Structure 1
Amino acid sequence: MRKIIIVLCLSFMTYNVQAQKLAKDQLGGWYMYNGSHKLSKKYSLKTMAHFRYFEPASEFQQEIYRLGLNYAFNPKTNITLGISYATEDLAYDTFSSNLYEYRFYEDLNLSSKWGAFKARHRFRFEQRFIHKNVVIDQFQNWIRYDLNVSYPLSKTWSVYAFNEIFLNLNRSKRFVQNWTGAGFIYKLNSNIKLKAGYFQIKLPSKVLKRLQFGIILNTHFSKKTN
């Protein structure tokens, strides 16, 4: 009888371990809006809203909003100064206090062409004001570098690939995460593009897998001259 009880207990414990949901085992979903609104020949407004989930459309992870003013030195070089707000659930499939943060950011964007390939380099500097667990406030300086390469498949379809690395300058071990992914962009018209892809987030101790679905909106408010 004791052997039977021991076997049943071990089986129950094994089942619980196997049934436990882990964030690294889930295929999450990101739903994204990115906008660029041209105000004049040199200035444009950058807008963004992302909604991110641990699972395809459930288990909230993060939402982030961004607003920035962009200045173009020339067609290949521009900068953006802006602010963003984010809130995040720190744990998957269990209760946790949300994290809230405000960020100031500065972007240097460089673009180039390698034959038919278009390449974009973005260097981002962030000052993050983080509030979590009700009583903890932190200030952190981050640096991010993103390389994005696209290739046209037709007049309406293109394929892209990207890699972005994140460094936290306030930590002795500065590496925070690395994003690597690829996908497709469909040009609906001169103002709207649709985006779908897959990428992985490499953290120091785990790798997260995510689907991306987005809309890209480009508008032009500057006066047209004849």
Structure 2
Amino acid sequence: MPIGARATHYNTVGWFNYFGTIKLSSKWGLHTEYQFRRNDLINSWQQGLLRVGINYQASPNLLLRAGYAWIETYAYGEIPINGLGRDFTEHRLFQMAQLSHQEGLISISHRFMLEQRFVGRYSSAAVIKEDEFPLMHRARYMLRLQAPLKGRTIKDKTPYAAAYNEIMIGFGKNVGANIFDQNRIGLLLGYRFNKTFRIEAGYFNQTLQFGRLINGRNIFQSNSGLIINTNFNF
């Protein structure tokens, strides 16, 4: 890539997330999730994401999930993601497989996801509402490590540390100029109160590449800030 063929814009973000699992039987369950994603840490919208799914515990170490997500992306930052500088809606189907294993004190999980993304766009500046939803595909892989800060296992009333990295790659005819979509990194401290509730918070970074060139340049966002996750198991 020639020197000067890319530009990076920086934002300070705050992601405040709810995750809930409702157990229906020994193998089946429901997944519920809402992510309140803010720009300027808390002052304005970045995204809102609602996700629901069906869980199937295929084995003690393998969790399968499929479902639907609704995402609203806002015109945040110096250069908005949408070429017209507008908000847009995305409807998404997804399939997930998560493998987990233990190595000494460290719990390790590998999450693989496929997504079918129907991303809203405007056919012209004259239209008021998105009138096209082309299909784009994306593959995701996340590696997460966590370990107790007291004792040898994460049980009730246990603090813990966690770190994760996730990469997202787009594919298919509508993916745009770049197949690299995002990379996310999190460094967290958490506390498990009991089997029903745990909370974790820490540093988060999202590196995002636009699917289009602007003046012949690849445009990146580096979005860093605070992430807080609340996790419920019913």
User: Which TM-score band applies after superposition, normalised by the shorter structure?
Assistant: 0.7 to 0.9
Gaps of 5+ in 2: 1-7, 123-129, 151-156, 210-219
Cα distance in structure 2, aligned partners of 1:197 and 1:58: 19
Residue 132 of structure 1: how far off its partner (Å): 2.6
Per-residue CA deviations over 1:107-160 (Å, capped at 9, x if unaligned) read 011001111100011100000111133334221011000111101112520000
Whether 1:86 and 2:71 are equivalent positions in the alignment is yes
Q: Which residue of structure 1 aligns with residue 164 of structure 2?
A: 162
Asked if 1 retains the 8 angstrom alpha-carbon contact of 2:10 and 2:221, the reply is no
TM-score by length of 2: 0.79
Counterpart-to-counterpart distance in 2, 1:206 and 1:82: 28
What's the counterpart of residue 199 of structure 1?
A: 204
Per the alignment, residue 109 of structure 1 pairs with: 98
Conserved? CA contact 1:97–1:132, under 8 Å? no
Any gaps of 5 or more consecutive residues in structure 1? 1-22, 220-226
Question: Is the 2:14–2:42 contact (alpha carbons within 8 Å) kept by the matching residues of 1?
Answer: yes
Q: How does 1:120-159 map to 2 (within 5 A)?
A: 120-133=109-122, 134-154=130-150, 155-159=157-161
RMSD: 1.8
Equivalent residue, structure 1, for 2:88: 99
Moved segments of 4+, more than 4 Å: none
What's the counterpart of residue 73 of structure 1? 58
Q: Distance in 2 between matches of 1:188 and 1:24?
A: 38
Post-superposition Cα deviations, 1:159-183, rounded to whole Å, max 9, x if no partner, equal 0000000010023631111011211
Identical aligned residues as a percent: 28
How many pairs align?
197
Is the 1:29–1:54 Cα contact (8 Å) retained in structure 2? yes
Residue 30 of structure 1 and its aligned partner are, at CA, apart by 0.6
Q: Is 2:213 aligned against 1:217?
A: no
Task: Tell me if structure 2 keeps the 8 A contact 1:35–1:218.
Answer: yes
Rounded to whole Å, the distance in 1 between the matches of 2:114 and 2:100 is 18
What letter matches 2:138 in structure 1?
W
The whole-number CA distance in structure 1 between the counterparts of 2:131 and 2:67 is: 27
Query: What does residue range 7-86 of structure 1 map to in structure 2 within 5 Å?
Result: 24-86=9-71
Q: CA deviation at 1:83?
A: 0.6
Report the residue type matching 1:82 in the other structure. G
Larger radius of gyration: 1
Is the 8 Å Cα contact of residues 11 and 77 (structure 2) preserved in structure 1?
A: no
CA contact (8 A) 1:98 1:132 kept: no
1:206 CA drift (Å): 3.4
CA contact (8 A) 1:161 1:181 kept: yes
Q: Which amino acid aligns with 1:199?
A: F
